[in-house]
Amino acid sequence: MTLANYIRNAVTYDTTRTQRDGFGKPLILSTHTNFAERTRAVSTRQALLDLGFSSSGSVVGMFDVMTGQELRPQSVTIGRRDVEVAQVETFTVGGAADGSYVHPVNGSEATFAAVGDTATAIRDGLVAAINALPEDVTAAPVAADQYTITADVAGQAFTTGTLVAPGSALTGVETTANVGAYTDMQAIWTYDSSWYAAISDNRTTPHILEASRWAQAARAVFVGQTNDANALDPALSTDVASQLLALQRSRTMLLYKSSDADYFDAALLGKQLPKTPGSTNWAWQPLAGVPADALTFEEVDALRDKRAGHIVQMGDLPTAFEGKTSAAGMWIDLVRGGDKIDNDIELGKLDLLQGIDKLGFDELQMLADRVEVEVARNNGLVVEDSIEVALPEDIPESDISARRVLGITWKASIRTPVNEVGTSGQLTIGGVV
């Protein structure tokens, strides 16, 4: 975007732009053919029915729960996903010199040591080594000196690292591109970036991992939902919650719900997105239209340790916990609030520079003051009297000649919400004769 060429701001999270009102817009992802565009924004149930969505289908169900909370988004964006396609790459053994042949897949290395072997034997050795890797791919010979690698799960991409072979004799090309959550979300974002938080009616682990991979590189968040009971077991580490935790995905919030037909993700977004970013704790949230799960103390602890959300009965109300992302120490309110502050600062600087005829290097305090104003407007997230903005002490002559100011820094303290309360007390029996 053109703005990025002239105005830069860095918060730990991201560097792209969002519209001022975009932080309250949800996206529902679904594979369908009800419209040709990548997205449509709707504000009523009837609008979805008019587009051809079934009243008993997942999209309408998610919309109903999302808009059935005490607060509701003004509109909901429906994203169109394509049918998933498995990635295929084809590789050629273009020589038969002795030496080590190495084919990396997703960071794991398949190797074959050639000693007097033909190209076909080298091919067969690499195919066997690739199939022995702990990766979700399958290698197969297709010609005397060629083999393919195909993703086991359509839509779940794999990567090939640097191929190593004597004389660079091992080469490859992608013959079928991956089509899945990552490519779909990128295409949707390119078409319409006005939304902020995405959910999907696909609850499978590969889909969640691919959607999470896209969100990690974007100014957006992904809220996944799973019914994988393995997430409830602290001894298991192959479930999607454990995988996301290992990947430290700071822009993904995973929710556990025992039934896919209960739209926990939609309800939570429906209630929280209309609120000012950073001003609300995503824990202790009573939700309408989503039954609680009957979880044991140990199962709740396992979900908490794996940084997965859950919904349990608290008093008379099903209540959502805890608002964690899959990265240690990161919470969804902090990510969303930080994105908004970053966005406000950049647009505030834009407003300042567009609103005056000239800002001289002797007037840089105006920039610092504007940054402080933009951070302070987010007083639901930051402690207002903790804000500090500093101009660079020295500006190089090269930067002055280029008419640019780099290195304005700011910091502020977070208004951290309370998620857990412990008390202790003592009862004294009096009046005993």
Q: Is residue 227 over pLDDT 70? A: yes
Q: What is the pTM of this model?
A: 0.85
Q: Return d(Cα 161, Cα 285) in angstroms, integer.
A: 44
2 token code pair: 């053109």
Specify the higher pLDDT residue, 10 or 170: 170
Q: Is residue 402 over pLDDT 80? A: yes
Q: What is the pLDDT of residue 429?
A: 80
pLDDT-derived band at 7, boundaries 50, 70, 90: very low
Q: Where along the chain do its domains lie?
A: 88-176, 333-411
Q: Is residue 13 over pLDDT 70? A: no
Q: Which of 206, 201, 213, 259 is nearest to 66 (CA)?
A: 201
How many CB atoms neighbour CB 103 within 10 A? 26
Cβ atoms of 205 and 228 closer than 8 Å: yes
Q: Where are the beta strands (DSSP E) in 43-184?
A: 76-81, 88-93, 99-105, 108-114, 137-143, 146-151, 170-176
Q: Which of 289, 270, 417, 343 is nearest to 4 (CA)?
A: 343
Q: Can you tell me whether residue 176 is helix, strand or coil?
A: strand
pLDDT tens by residue, 262-301: 999 999 999 999 998 888 999 999 999 999 999 999 999 9
Q: Who's near 194: CB < 8 A, 6+ residues apart?
A: 19, 22, 25, 41, 77
pLDDT tens by residue, 310-325: 999 999 999 999 999 9
Q: Who's near 130: CB < 8 A, 6+ residues apart?
A: 103, 105, 110, 137, 139, 149
